[in-house]
Structure 1
């Protein structure tokens, strides 16, 4: 009897163990199918079936598992990502896959050179295959390029082929700033950016206490180059040779003429400081064919010849009466377009020297008085002798008249 009770109790304990429920089964890239998907606890002895998740497909194995005493039997089903495989060939292009042809990957169309994609977009590998529509590769055509003010381009057509080149030119007296050539690029536009046509004109390269030495003549356009020099007694600070840049400015900048340091001489009693005796006039750029009229520098001077004054010509300068020339009267037109040794000025005669005009006037007046006096003396002598000859044959009255005429003369 006792043995029977023990066996009964053991059977009841075994039944309690074998009747234990199972929790929800799990698998890689799969889930239970049907109404079982809503359950969270499964009774002992139940059998459920797995199905691969969306984007995955069966690679073999049994999809069913059974709950026994709270545990599921091993899962036999294997699920792998769906493969959409390669897209069919396209014209004038090829397909690139990122990163492959499985579920979620992309297929991208790359057109051949000279073609561009039109319409459509990328393909996506879905559960039913490739999704979307690929574009079409069409031949690249560029429309007319941009118009540049004060410039033109050639050839001039309605459309241009891929990689076709056009060339810009500017009007006379204008300079091209930028790329002269553009090409029809792969996005159907011309590249690089179009140039500009600008008018470059630098001003006269005038520097105080300096002058033009060599190089270009006005007008000064783009890349015109001149070389400058300082007057005697001055030293140049900067670059002597400058060039007209695109911004209509001299590059790297006009130099400066700096006075040389003063020179001091000391004696036992006096200190003499020697400096530049006068301040030169502001120089001007010389004429292209010679020197300018000296009258423009000193309005009072008189020049021995008329302009134009070619290189090598010599002239003699003079001043009006009452003035004197403050410098050499003979000037030579040098190759640099400047007079040498330098145009002097006419200054008022302060009495330290006789004016040439005044001397001539005095001498002329004295000469005229001498001539008149000598003429009168000779006339009297001549008529006196005549009176003596006629006195013997004339009356006293006639003689008296002759004397009156002599006196009146």
Structure 2
């Protein structure tokens, strides 16, 4: 007990130190934390100088540039007894830039116009942007505004289309996106070979990946195209008898009895004055050779113009076509005396009306029937004086559609020239007759005689009026 009573006496000198330690600890733990940095506001100049925040301390804020005070909201925080700042609510809101107006022939997203937002501009197809692609809502003096002016969208222009030798097109003041030009060949003196337009007649203004105006393709050419008269030994023309043969004119051949064809039966005069594909040949049928069987709505595998005796070939039906037993493939063999034996044909499901296409100034010369199945072919020929534009032989693909597209027949250039000459002659003769009839001194009725009649009528008018008055 003696030792324990001595401890308080020994601790008396340390009492002031313990009291100061306790008070210092209470002050360190009894203040609000230092205010965090706000995005939309900053401490006022007077509040920045405060280093200790015991309960009851008040600090004030001011809105940062680009923000403005919300009406009814206080800019002051108070340190509460719970050592927390209050009221902690948003009191500064971002300022808004003005709506820049609509972008004609373009678009942008204008849902956010507040400080710090950005507008990205895009033009509609066929237009390109002139000005800044992107602007932002920035601080400008004591307010906010856009970092640049509203751009504009201009229609994409093209340079004038290229000129071609011996051809022309209708010129315009300017050429812009989607505008087109159509070329034609110049007329030639009577008796000269006319020019043919080789290539795409019409091109249009379009754009590249950098929104620069470019033409959709190269211009056509005007060439003198004249293919020689094709003749096939042991064969004959089935259609295409009109001479001379110009660009895209076609001829169809067939072999005489006892011969088979090697090559394509239809050839077309191309831009180089050459028949394409080359004209076929007609080979004699011998006892050990079988000409390729003619199969409707199917193909031969392997495909050849003729097969040797004992050689087999597979017949495959086209899509949606089959043999009567439902199979789509059958193998046949070349037999004695150039015979394949009995052959079956592929029957196809009916698709679409399959009616014969209407060919103005032309006709179907091969393959025509009341209705068509998928895979059927027809061959078209133009009347004399008209030129075929497109492929002569087309195939039915269903739903009343043909590939390639149904061709057209256009009036030949030399026919147009003849018509123009006739019109000019008729107009000249009519003008000459009118001149002789009414203006020539040698005519039966001249202008002087007509004037004399009018003068006589005028002189008799008063006399007739006087007689009428006396009768009344």
Q: What is the TM-score with the length of structure 1 in the denominator?
A: 0.46
CA radius of gyration, larger in: 1
